[in-house]
Amino acid sequence: MKIYTGTGDKGKTSLFSGERVSKASDRIEAYGDLDELNSVLGALIAHLPSDRSDLVGELQQIQADMFVIGAWLATTANSPAAGSLAPIEVKQIVFLENAIDRLDDLLPDLKNFILPGGHISAAWAHVARSICRRTERHAVLVLEESDDEETAKELTRALIYLNRLSDYLFVLARECNRLHGLSDIPWKKS
């Protein structure tokens, strides 16, 4: 099966809601960021300890959620295509909040800023966290352009989800170091 379509060769792409838009638009930036984030989550998963299938499962659930959020980012306001999309549910945000609390309980209190890094899995978690922040910034632009209630409601949930996700990835980075017997590297003012 050939996977290339050739329909984007002149710089445009199709949204889920049917419009043809420039690949340089904010909306495409936003779900492109999300795609990048999902790939980096894959790299992070590949570096997790083999006996932590619980964390792998958690991250794969997040990867699946990325597709739902991506579909909303690819759908313009007032589109009938929105009727085909799964909603972003509060329970998906609660899932992240519970995971943050669980990991945070395992970690020593943080007294300084820390440098991103340590074990390779922690380093990937920090890369994912910073891409998540960028995704959030671009998603805000998309939300600001949305003028119907339903789409705005879903995008607002997407923003909350992304905001929690970056916090989750921060504590997960620290947990990855802890799992490998490494301490966080404190920031020292030079």
Which chain residues interact with other proteins by CB under 8 A?
A: 1-2, 5-7, 9-10, 12, 14, 16-20, 79-81, 84
Secondary element (H or E) of residue 14: strand 12-14
> What is the smallest separation between the CB atom of 124 and other proteins, expressed in angstroms?
25
> Could you give the CA distance from residue 147 to residue 145 in angstroms, rounded to a whole number?
6
Both structure tokens of 131: 């891409």
CB of 23 to other proteins, least distance (A): 12
> Where do the H-state alpha helices sit in 74-148?
90-106, 120-145
Query: What is the nearest approach in angstroms of other proteins to the Cβ of residue 59?
Result: 18
Cβ–Cβ under 8 Å, residues 154 and 72: yes
3-state SS class at 114: strand
Nearest-angstrom CA–CA distance, 61 and 166 = 15
Least separation in angstroms between residue 151's CB and other proteins is 15
Q: Which is nearer to other proteins, 79 or 146 (CB)?
A: 79
Quick one: 7 or 183, whose CB is closer to other proteins? 7
**Nearer to other proteins (CB atom), residue 6 or residue 181:** 6
Closest CB to other proteins among 73 and 100?
73
Instruction: Tell the smallest beta-carbon distance from residue 85 to other proteins (Å).
Output: 9
Choose among 2, 68, 1, 84: nearest CA to 31: 68
User: Closer CB to other proteins, residue 8 or residue 49?
Assistant: 8
